[in-house]
């Protein structure tokens, strides 16, 4: 759902279909997975040092957008929810939804009713709601006028799920079903309703903010009990777009610097796939996931939707990212055959999401980044002696003493960098792509099932019917052929 009073309709020279971003992105991660408030503080400091990458409009105190994605701070939420009269189970056994809602009570109640019905219908238990404290005076006049209300919903499963990934899929299903339920009430795009995050692993604080406003606006982020091993941040420069609360980054799995130039085709293909989509993990509930991607959000929001679908469908996060952002593999003589086969096979399943882009991604366990195949956006990283990695769209984002830097580097075209906090190590491009590409016999499948048109036998002489040249142009026009 799109928040109200955010972007105008198409008019004059403005067309929302033509919106693009150019932003600052970065993350701080403890490679060993140790959660601390210091990671949160460093991430916010990194964000403030990307302030020049963001932008503001005629109101200098209203930003294009800024935000931070964290692992769920269990100690903090346990304390906060206990004061509200409900207790949280162990980490991983409950999920938190960060929801932007209408300031109109009746509209807000309708959305919350839909959420509670969906939670019950999908076998989860509602633990409670929490009003997220905010400080409106910390933001500009334009941001305040468009500001929604902020509430968190807490849910748990009933012990019927085998692992946390299954719990994540159930939460995902709840969120998508609520979207459909509200649409059926004939209020799409009129209610202020947007789920910034809903997960048992991560939570997002973001909005129509300037980078240095996010901590003053969200007092939660200053609490010492807000601890995380991952902090993914973003400062938005919306170039020729309108800022809005829901289009701030990070999205549920990514933060992005650049633009996806193939967006219209990507959306069309995702819509076309809905007719044949199947999944043993979702079964008959698969139709609740439609539409798979947003038709009204930004290029980044659409990319995030597609990545979510692939990951929730059972693929690993690196696998899904490789599908969407392939390397330039067709004429690379140095590429291994197994990796080339992976890309060739998946080219039959999904077209590339192409454009100048540096994309950071996380599922709350793994965090990484990838550069587009042309390397048209910058990416730098540092690894410290105390086992932290800092990644950003430029250098100088944190003041790290030289003696504490183990090594540093820059991202290369099409390359991926990954930190796995469960394995407690950095996994380089070569290793992660070998692991993904060798997981299935892609080379065998390519040889067996892909038909090269150049290798088809010639048809018998005289068997090909010649077209009626007198009517050919008319028929081509009737069937949509272009020059």
Task: Tell me the C-alpha to C-alpha distance, in Å, between residue 143 and each of 59, 88, 102, 139, 237.
Answer: 9, 33, 14, 6, 15
For the chain, percent helix, then strand, then coil, each to nearest 5?
35, 20, 45
Task: Give CA–CA dist 389/30, Å, rounded.
Answer: 7
CA-wise closest residue to 242 among 67, 24, 27, 11: 11
Is residue 166 within 8 Å of 314, Cβ to Cβ?
A: no
Is residue 413 within 8 Å of 377, Cβ to Cβ?
A: no
- Cis before 310? omega within 30: no
Residue 221 structure tokens: 């982020």
CA-wise closest residue to 353 among 312, 408, 414: 414
Classify residue 424 by burial, with Cβ atoms within 10 Å: 0-12, 13-18, 19+. middle
Task: Tell me the C-alpha to C-alpha distance, in Å, between residue 68 and each of 150, 211, 400, 423.
Answer: 15, 10, 21, 24
The one-character DSSP state at 137 is: G
Cβ-based neighbours of 333, under 8 Å, separated by 6 or more: none
Known catalytic residue at 58: no
193-199 vs 94-101, strand pairing mode: antiparallel
Compute CA 441 distance to the chain's CA centroid, rounded to the nearest angstrom. 29
Q: Which residues carry out catalysis?
A: 23
């Amino acid at each position: 759902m799109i928040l109200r009073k955010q972007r105008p309709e198409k008019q004059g020279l403005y067309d929302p279909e033509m919106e693009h971003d150019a932003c600052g992105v970065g993350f701080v991660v403890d490679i060993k997975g140790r959660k601390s408030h210091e990671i949160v503080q460093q991430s916010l400091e990194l964000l403030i040092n990307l302030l020049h990458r963001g932008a503001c409009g005629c109101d200098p105190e209203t930003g294009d957008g800024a935000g931070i994605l964290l692992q769920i701070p269990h100690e903090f939420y346990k304390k906060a929810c206990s004061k509200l009269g409900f207790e949280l189970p162990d980490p991983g056994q409950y999920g938190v939804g960060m929801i932007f809602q209408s300031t109109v009570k009746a509209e807000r109640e309708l959305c919350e009713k839909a959420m509670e019905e969906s939670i019950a219908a999908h076998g989860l238990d509602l633990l409670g709601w929490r009003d997220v404290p905010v400080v409106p005076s910390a933001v500009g006049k334009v941001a305040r006028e468009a500001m929604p209300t902020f509430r968190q919903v807490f849910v748990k499963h009933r012990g019927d799920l085998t692992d946390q990934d299954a719990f994540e899929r159930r939460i995902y299903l709840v969120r998508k079903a609520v979207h459909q339920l509200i649409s059926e009430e004939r209020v799409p795009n009129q209610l202020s309703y947007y789920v910034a995050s809903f997960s048992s692993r991560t939570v997002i604080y973001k909005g129509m903010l300037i980078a240095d406003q996010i901590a003053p606006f969200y007092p939660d982020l200053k609490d010492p009990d807000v601890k995380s091993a991952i902090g993914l941040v973003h400062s938005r420069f919306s170039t020729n777009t309108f800022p809005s609360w829901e289009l701030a980054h990070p999205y549920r799995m990514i933060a992005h610097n650049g633009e996806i130039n193939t967006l219209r085709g990507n959306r069309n293909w995702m819509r076309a796939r809905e007719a044949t989509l199947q999944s043993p993990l979702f079964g008959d509930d698969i139709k609740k996931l439609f539409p798979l991607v947003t038709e009204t959000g930004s290029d980044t929001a659409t990319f995030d939707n597609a990545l979510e679908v692939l990951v929730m469908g059972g693929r690993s996060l690196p696998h899904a990212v490789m599908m969407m952002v392939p390397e330039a593999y067709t004429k690379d003589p140095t590429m291994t055959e197994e990796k080339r086969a992976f890309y060739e096979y998946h080219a039959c399943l999904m077209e590339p999401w192409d454009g100048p882009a540096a994309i950071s991604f996380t599922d709350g366990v793994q965090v990484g980044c990838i550069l587009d195949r042309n390397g048209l956006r910058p990416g730098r990283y540092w690894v410290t002696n105390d086992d932290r990695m800092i990644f950003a769209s430029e250098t100088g984002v944190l003041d790290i003493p030289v003696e504490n830097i183990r090594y540093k580097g820059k991202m290369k075209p099409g390359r991926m960098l990954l930190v796995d906090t469960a394995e407690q190590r950095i996994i380089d491009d070569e290793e992660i792509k070998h692991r993904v590409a060798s997981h299935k016999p892609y080379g065998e499948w390519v040889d067996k099932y892909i038909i090269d048109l150049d290798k088809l036998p010639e048809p018998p002489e005289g068997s090909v019917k010649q077209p009626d040249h007198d009517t050919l142009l008319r028929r081509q026009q009737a069937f949509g052929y272009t020059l």
